[in-house]
Amino acid sequence: MFHQLHRHLFGQRSIKAALLVNMLELHDFLFVVFFELGRRAGAGLRKGRWIWASLAGSEAEALEAEYRAGCDLARAFARKVGSSGHVVLADINISMLKEGRRRLTDAGVAGNLSIIQVDAEKLPFADASFDCITIAFGLRNVTDKNAALASMRKVLKPGGKAMILEFSDPSPSLKPAYDLYSFKVLPFLGKLVASDSSSYQYLAESIRMHPDQETLLEMMRDAGFERCRYHNLAGGIVALHIGYRI
Which DSSP symbol is given to 127? T
Q: What is the pTM of this model?
A: 0.79
The contacts found for 36-42 with CB under 8 angstroms, 24 or more apart, are 36/63, 36/66, 37/63, 38/181, 39/234
Confidence of residue 73 (pLDDT cuts 50, 70, 90): confident
Helix (H, G, I), strand (E, B) or coil at 112: coil
Average pLDDT, the chain: 78
- Amino acid symbol at 162: A
Q: What is the structure's pLDDT at 35? A: 52
Is the Cβ–Cβ distance between 209 and 141 less than 8 Å?
no
Domain boundaries, given as residue ranges, for the chain? 2-244
pLDDT level of residue 69 (50, 70, 90 thresholds): low
CA dist., res. 65 & res. 117, Å (int): 25
pLDDT band at 181 (very low <50, low <70, confident <90, very high): confident
pLDDT band at 179 (very low <50, low <70, confident <90, very high): confident
Taking residues 96-109, what's their average pLDDT?
82
Distance separating alpha carbons of residues 193 and 199, to the nearest angstrom: 12
Paired with 230 in beta bridges are 241
pLDDT per residue as tens digits for the range 194-231: 677 787 788 788 888 999 999 999 999 999 999 999 99
**Helix intervals (H) in 135-183:** 145-155, 175-180
At the top level of CATH, the class of 2-244 is alpha beta
